[in-house]
Structure 1
Amino acid sequence: MDMNQYLSMFIDESNDHLQSLNESMMGLEANPEDISIVQVIFRSAHTLKGMAATMGFEDLASLTHQMENVLDLVRNNKLRMQDFIFDTLFKSLDALESMVEDITGGGEGKADVTAIVSSLQAIVRGEVPAAAGAAAEVTAAAATTGDAQISLDEFQYSVLEQSLQEGHQVLYVDVAIRKDCQLKAVRAYMVFDLLERSGEVVKSFPSVQDIEQEKFDYGFSLYYITQKDASEIQRMILNLSEIDKVTAVALDQESLSQMAQEMSAATAEASPAAPVQESSASAPAKAPAASAAKEENGKSAPVRTGGAPSRTIRVDIERLDVLMNLFSELLIDRVRLEQLASEVQNGDLTETVEHMGRVSGDLQNIVMKLRMVPVDTVFNRFPRMVRDLAKSLDKKIDLVVTGAETELDRTVIDEIGDPLVHLLRNAVDHGVESIQDRLASGKSDTGTVNLRAFHSGNHVFIEIEDDGAGIKPQKILQSAIKKGIITQEQAASYSDDEAIQLLFAPGFSTAEVISDVSGRGVGLDVVKSKITSLGGNVVVYSTPGKGTNFSVQLPLTLSIIAAMLVKIGSEKYAIPLSSIVETGIVKNTQIRTIHGNRMIEFRNSHIPLLSLSKFYAVPDFDESTEEETEIVVVRKGERLVALAVQDFIGQNEIVIKNLGKYLPEVQGISGATILGDGQVALIIDPNAFIK
């Protein structure tokens, strides 16, 4: 059966299960005694194994099976979760993720997971897995103890047993090729070619295919049937050039049966999961889940089951982009029709256009919601990342996530992940102090990093706040001078806020030592440029001794917005409604000049008044000749500014169009739109005026 038709489904569902496994493992690490979480993890692992086996990805299925063996002991109260078990299972998840990534890139999902498998098997046997080099030691031991480093299936074992009964030699051969060998796959082929002239290779580890593709680390093992004795085979292989070491051990009936007993014991301890053939080819992810749910020995586990089938489907993002573009064109035509209907004054036409407006409005809401994705899809990978990072830095950190259900446009979601990773790593590494420093300053030994998302107007704010030492402006200035970003004279005139903004300068870093986490001066400048390219902004608030807050402001959607259209001379501009506080009219006598800046009174305070006609040098309008001026008051955070215009045209839904690469970045302009009469109106960016 052709499985290619199910490949995209397999990849999507595998990623979902891996994410679920990561989240559940984080929950289990916080509550190691909660068996219900283990049940959830076991079911996800079992489903993933069934899917992988159905699709023919044996390495992935095999590793998941080894994880199942460990989890089965835990859920049956035969094993207590410990730190080294968590670390091994997390490494297993990382290996599974890399295999799925390989499959996504068109590979076969193969990986060398010998060390991880050895650690998992050691856990099942009740041993504490050794650190580095464990795999090599297990391989060496296998030659003398029969410990099944190479797992044999029932057929392969029966072949070896029958060969012994017929008087043949059964050898376990371990070959190490010299590290300076340039073509190790060729040397391995020569060994196999030599052996096959005098006998038969029953099973090798790694597999022959992996060895041919050089997916092995200068060593391999195999079971071999021959008439020659072990010493002769050893001598023959050593005669080949660039062979470092050969161990050939003859197995007798007793050692072979002992090996079989160990394998059967491991199988008995393994999970009572149904065989992988249970999963249906037509729906690789569903059948294993059902069978896993049945095997919980009558216990009611917190699993989301029920008679109602799934009501969701996966849609390619490119199709949604096409849908959005088509609807954008429809919206432009709708505005044009509304304008024509108002000019013609035909009752039937007006009624039809109004109905079309209502229907297209509903359609617009649906199209917009189709593209909206909860930020949870980005946030859910951060707890695991923070956990690993805190462990590597020897810190204790709680990550508190709020507002994960907040929705953002899919195009923004796809791009925002990397900047948030940089900001979180920055908070964990630079923000939160070491345990000793926290205790010395009277804080708890566990630092807290808050990751929040919330709506505000037509924007989504994502905040990353830590309760660390805060930012010291003087330290930033000294580091910037040292790295040549600013001069000593420039530093003297910098305010604290301006000093903090230097964090986003290219090449800036306050790390004393370059590490895996930070110190190379690549990070916050990339964050700022990426967020700016998305039409957003990032602001830093810091209180020394209390902590730091990085606030990222992002547009809710990148395609269609509600805007107020205004006229200045012969030109038309659009101001996003989300930024407008109110509109009004002021008389020239109400305008005051304070320190050379024009100000007006607004709500018992004074705010700046900016003339758009002067700012954009509109040639055919002079506001000084008018007795009163129309204004639009816009807000960014707590700051307000009034923009002077000539006339209000009205509110409209507009489609944002990019200005294109051939136009330089224009200050105060975020894009353009096509109006119903075919004219182009520039979209004003109120944030630029307030800055």
Structure 2
Amino acid sequence: MAFDADEEILQDFLIEAGEILEKLSEQLVDLEQHPDDSDLLNAIFRGFHTVKGGAGFLQLEALVNCCHSAENVFDTLRNHKRQVTAELMDVVLEALDNVNAMFDQVRNREEPTPAPDTLIEALDQLARPESETAAAEPAPEPEPAASNAGQEDQGDITDEEFERLLDALADGQGAPEAAPVPAGEPDTAAVAAAGGDDITDDEFEALLDQLHGKGQFSGATDTPEQAPASPSGGSSDLISDDEFESLLDELHGKGGSPSAAAADAAPAAPAKKVEQPEKTKKPVPEESKKPAPVPAREPAKPAAAAREATPAGETTVRVDTKRLDDIMNMVGELVLVRNRLQRLGSESEDEHMHKAVANLDVVTTDLQSAVMQTRMQPIKKVFGRFPRVVRDLARNMKKEVNLVMHGEDTDLDKNLVEALSDPLVHLVRNSVDHGVEAPDVREQAGKPRAGTVTLSAEQEGDHILLSIADDGAGMDANVLRRKAVEKGLFEQDAADRLTDNECYNLIFAAGFSTKEQISDVSGRGVGMDVVKTRIGQLNGQINIVSEKGKGTSIIIKVPLTLAIMPTLMIMLGDQSFALPLVNVVEIFHLDLTKTNIVDGKECVVVREKVFPLFHIKRWLVHGAAGQAEPENAHVVIVAMGTKQVGFVVDQLVGQEEVVIKPLGRALQGTPGMAGATITGDGRIALIIDVPSLLQHYG
């Protein structure tokens, strides 16, 4: 294991291999749906081959062996010697799990644990053609086939493979290939056959002549056309960069760089030249008669490709996320200064001052947007794991489930991408387990045997909407009411008053589950409670829409970023507070003499909906509890998860973007407070954490 290797090389391997392994999980599940997709087979083959190459460079033998065996399987598949089956995919996916586990160990600077021998044996068995019987013993054969195929796609061969090629040339061609070797030069095959381990430079040149024909790179005296290509004169032994590129192209196939994803088909034809001398011995001298067009045609393409690729490689810079966080914090401070200047500018009558503040506002907004974009990642990083999750769960539960994904390129803050990962896994597993019925049940209900789970994401203003929908059995509100009464969450009369939508939201209660039998997938009533808590911590909302017999949709709404928050500034007495705008549903003016009492709580009826009312001034402002209540006030309807309540406030200031600052040591842990910020008029305002506030006081 070469952990003492150059740290930069190791980091490059971790980044490149990490991206490839992420793709492989999705590609393998996709292959099961499209087993005849040759492009997909080639892409998976290249993926395992590239990871194997990087691991071999770092001497990670356990990783090399597992990838090599998996690579052999896909070489057999892409040569149409075996068919893709569910059982084959089970073994390959198990191999990918082992590769991922070893990769994590390498990332943690640990020695990778080799894959089980039974798994390697299963892969080697699958690498053999289906027509081949167990009695035949061509066990070593897949290795040269795979390595040659790897040459075609990747353009690199190992020292061992090169030695094997030399041995094959020496053993199989000694006498016949001696003919084209010019007089005065040693017979390489004869030397090799005689048992000499080392060959001289002249012998190596002769070997190249046998492979590719004499005269291509031996100087200007043999082929006058090449004289201008030599920078130091006709008799020079040096070759130009273009000639060297051409030689590589002939040896390994054109464009065979491991990073060139598009080169999966192109190298196939030229690469066969390496193998040809073994089978076709007479055309070799003919090739040597017309070498001129090769350097004339081929060097131009790699040289042009190199020139085009150079700028693309220089446009990407790897930046530590901590540095981006620091820049984001500084932009946040700039936003606060902008807010202060806007307030001062509005009080001034100087026209130039107004223009300068307006310009500052535009520049700050653009800068804020640009810095936010640097932290953005496509939600595909989360979605990419779900094809595998759904596939394994469906096979485990004997169900047929198709996963459809929309909006995978939707961008959101890196921190949110990581935070949403676990809640979404819970919801997708729940859709497969609770939502989609067994194939026979679906057939009896007149539905297709295969259920569909749809995962989608879209941007709506400064928020992201995520939806997890299934076409399963839907929810039965009456069953949920009965369960709620059985578990003691509600009295019977209170449960009867619940709307269907409120019944659906009962699944988020801690310990609530409609599953009669507990399995390793679900039934303990823990997952959905965790989901609700996590979404609440992200200042998000979650809602359920369901129709019995038709299916269920769970909709999540989260802000694009957690760094800068749009808020509604309110006044309680003479103190400022900020309500996160994501929680605000509507605002209206209310005559407080027209409230009602329901179940001992003060409520207000708006458009035939009942909202509990809370005078948060009594909770948050010292000495306010004993003051007389005004007859009129503003009411802000806020959403907390799936519930909506009304907050009575004294004054509405307006919308303002704020930067969340952590509370000082004396105030840390204060119930209902998410942090603090500086308002446009220079005062400090506390940011209200709505779920925490209601949980503690309400």
TM-score by length of structure 2 reads 0.67
Q: Whole-Å Cα distance in 1 between the matches of residues 147 and 397 of structure 2?
A: 36
Q: Structure 2 counterpart of 1:293, which letter? A: A
Indicate how the Cα distance of structure 1 residues 340 and 640 shifts in structure 2: closer, same or farther if over 3 A, else same.
same
Number of equivalent positions: 544
Indicate how the Cα distance of structure 1 residues 83 and 576 shifts in structure 2: closer, same or farther if over 3 A, else same.
closer
Matched position secondary structure for 1:309: helix
**Cα deviation code 1:388-414 (max 9, x no counterpart):** 110111000011111222222221211
Alignment pair present for 1:418 and 2:422 = yes
Q: Structure 1 counterpart of 2:561, which letter? A: T
Alignment pair present for 1:293 and 2:263 = yes
Q: Whole-Å Cα distance in 2 between the matches of residues 566 and 360 of structure 1?
A: 24
The answer on whether the counterparts of 2:442 and 2:449 sit within 8 Å (CA) in structure 1 is yes
The equivalent residue for 1:323 is 327
Q: Whole-Å Cα distance in 2 between the matches of residues 609 and 510 of structure 1?
A: 28
Matched position secondary structure for 1:126: coil
Alignment pair present for 1:362 and 2:339 = no
Q: Whole-Å Cα distance in 1 between the matches of residues 518 and 634 of structure 2?
A: 56
The equivalent residue for 2:8 is 5
Q: Whole-Å Cα distance in 2 between the matches of residues 536 and 582 of structure 1?
A: 16
The answer on whether the counterparts of 2:472 and 2:551 sit within 8 Å (CA) in structure 1 is yes
The equivalent residue for 2:594 is 593
Q: Structure 2 counterpart of 1:118, which letter? A: E
Indicate how the Cα distance of structure 1 residues 515 and 578 shifts in structure 2: closer, same or farther if over 3 A, else same.
closer
RMSD of aligned Cα (Å): 4.3
Indicate how the Cα distance of structure 1 residues 440 and 348 shifts in structure 2: closer, same or farther if over 3 A, else same.
closer
1:351 CA displacement = 5.8
Alignment pair present for 1:79 and 2:49 = no
Q: Whole-Å Cα distance in 2 between the matches of residues 638 and 107 of structure 1?
A: 45
Alignment pair present for 1:469 and 2:473 = yes
The equivalent residue for 2:387 is 383
Q: Paired residue for 1:535, among 514, 518, 539? A: 539
Q: Whole-Å Cα distance in 2 between the matches of residues 372 and 266 of structure 1?
A: 43
109-118 vs 469-478, greater mean Cα deviation = 469-478
Q: Structure 2 counterpart of 1:510, which letter? A: T
The answer on whether the counterparts of 2:532 and 2:641 sit within 8 Å (CA) in structure 1 is no
Matched position secondary structure for 1:272: helix
The equivalent residue for 1:103 is 106
Q: Whole-Å Cα distance in 2 between the matches of residues 498 and 598 of structure 1?
A: 17
Q: Structure 2 counterpart of 1:17, which letter? A: I
The answer on whether the counterparts of 1:542 and 1:549 sit within 8 Å (CA) in structure 2 is yes
Q: Paired residue for 2:659, among 655, 660, 676? A: 655
Q: Whole-Å Cα distance in 2 between the matches of residues 582 and 262 of structure 1?
A: 72
Matched position secondary structure for 1:288: coil
The equivalent residue for 1:429 is 433
Q: Structure 1 counterpart of 2:108, which letter? A: G
Indicate how the Cα distance of structure 1 residues 641 and 268 shifts in structure 2: closer, same or farther if over 3 A, else same.
closer
Q: Whole-Å Cα distance in 2 between the matches of residues 402 and 513 of structure 1?
A: 33
Matched position secondary structure for 1:40: helix
The equivalent residue for 1:135 is none
1:340 CA displacement = 5.1
Q: Structure 2 counterpart of 1:120, which letter? A: L
The equivalent residue for 1:267 is 144
Q: Whole-Å Cα distance in 1 between the matches of residues 262 and 409 of structure 2?
A: 29
Alignment pair present for 1:42 and 2:45 = yes
Q: Whole-Å Cα distance in 1 between the matches of residues 644 and 512 of structure 2?
A: 32
The answer on whether the counterparts of 1:43 and 1:289 sit within 8 Å (CA) in structure 2 is no
Unaligned runs of 5+ in 1: 131-137, 139-144, 148-258, 279-285
The equivalent residue for 1:198 is none
**Cα deviation code 1:63-91 (max 9, x no counterpart):** 21222222122222333222222222211
Q: Structure 2 counterpart of 1:81, which letter? A: V
Q: Structure 2 counterpart of 1:322, which letter? A: D
Q: Whole-Å Cα distance in 2 between the matches of residues 598 and 338 of structure 1?
A: 39
**Cα deviation code 1:334-385 (max 9, x no counterpart):** 3334445666777777665554443322211111222222211101110111
Matched position secondary structure for 2:594: strand
The equivalent residue for 1:665 is 671
Q: Whole-Å Cα distance in 2 between the matches of residues 470 and 319 of structure 1?
A: 47
The equivalent residue for 1:372 is 376
Q: Whole-Å Cα distance in 2 between the matches of residues 122 and 61 of structure 1?
A: 18
**Cα deviation code 1:15-56 (max 9, x no counterpart):** 210121122222221111111211221222222222211222
Indicate how the Cα distance of structure 1 residues 582 and 467 shifts in structure 2: closer, same or farther if over 3 A, else same.
closer
Q: Whole-Å Cα distance in 2 between the matches of residues 81 and 267 of structure 1?
A: 22
Indicate how the Cα distance of structure 1 residues 615 and 298 shifts in structure 2: closer, same or farther if over 3 A, else same.
farther
1:539 CA displacement = 2.4
The answer on whether the counterparts of 2:66 and 2:115 sit within 8 Å (CA) in structure 1 is no
Matched position secondary structure for 1:558: coil
Q: Structure 2 counterpart of 1:20, which letter? A: K
Question: Which of the pair is proportionally richer in strand?
Answer: 1
Q: Whole-Å Cα distance in 2 between the matches of residues 510 and 598 of structure 1?
A: 31
The answer on whether the counterparts of 1:592 and 1:598 sit within 8 Å (CA) in structure 2 is no
Indicate how the Cα distance of structure 1 residues 265 and 518 shifts in structure 2: closer, same or farther if over 3 A, else same.
closer
**Cα deviation code 1:162-193 (max 9, x no counterpart):** xxxxxxxxxxxxxxxxxxxxxxxxxxxxxxxx
The answer on whether the counterparts of 2:127 and 2:142 sit within 8 Å (CA) in structure 1 is no
532-541 vs 25-34, greater mean Cα deviation = 532-541
The equivalent residue for 2:550 is 546
The equivalent residue for 2:94 is 91
The answer on whether the counterparts of 1:480 and 1:486 sit within 8 Å (CA) in structure 2 is yes
1:127 CA displacement = 5.5
The equivalent residue for 1:556 is 560
Indicate how the Cα distance of structure 1 residues 268 and 516 shifts in structure 2: closer, same or farther if over 3 A, else same.
same
Q: Whole-Å Cα distance in 1 between the matches of residues 612 and 476 of structure 2?
A: 35
Q: Paired residue for 2:527, among 513, 523, 526? A: 523
The equivalent residue for 1:202 is none
Indicate how the Cα distance of structure 1 residues 581 and 269 shifts in structure 2: closer, same or farther if over 3 A, else same.
closer
The answer on whether the counterparts of 2:572 and 2:617 sit within 8 Å (CA) in structure 1 is no
The higher-RCO structure (CA 8 Å, 6+ apart) is 1
Alignment pair present for 1:438 and 2:442 = yes
Report percent identity of matched pairs.
35
The equivalent residue for 1:236 is none
Matched position secondary structure for 2:473: coil
Q: Structure 1 counterpart of 2:379, which letter? A: V
Indicate how the Cα distance of structure 1 residues 114 and 623 shifts in structure 2: closer, same or farther if over 3 A, else same.
same
The answer on whether the counterparts of 2:541 and 2:639 sit within 8 Å (CA) in structure 1 is no
Unaligned runs of 5+ in 2: 160-255, 271-304
The answer on whether the counterparts of 1:610 and 1:644 sit within 8 Å (CA) in structure 2 is yes
Matched position secondary structure for 1:108: coil
The equivalent residue for 2:279 is none
The equivalent residue for 2:68 is 65
**Cα deviation code 1:561-599 (max 9, x no counterpart):** 334434454222335556778888x697xx993757897
Q: Whole-Å Cα distance in 1 between the matches of residues 509 and 611 of structure 2?
A: 30
Q: Whole-Å Cα distance in 1 between the matches of residues 494 and 596 of structure 2?
A: 26
520-529 vs 607-616, greater mean Cα deviation = 607-616
The answer on whether the counterparts of 2:541 and 2:642 sit within 8 Å (CA) in structure 1 is no
Matched position secondary structure for 2:149: coil
The equivalent residue for 1:409 is 413
1:422 CA displacement = 1.0
The answer on whether the counterparts of 2:400 and 2:450 sit within 8 Å (CA) in structure 1 is yes
646-655 vs 537-546, greater mean Cα deviation = 646-655
The equivalent residue for 1:334 is 338
Q: Whole-Å Cα distance in 1 between the matches of residues 409 and 670 of structure 2?
A: 37
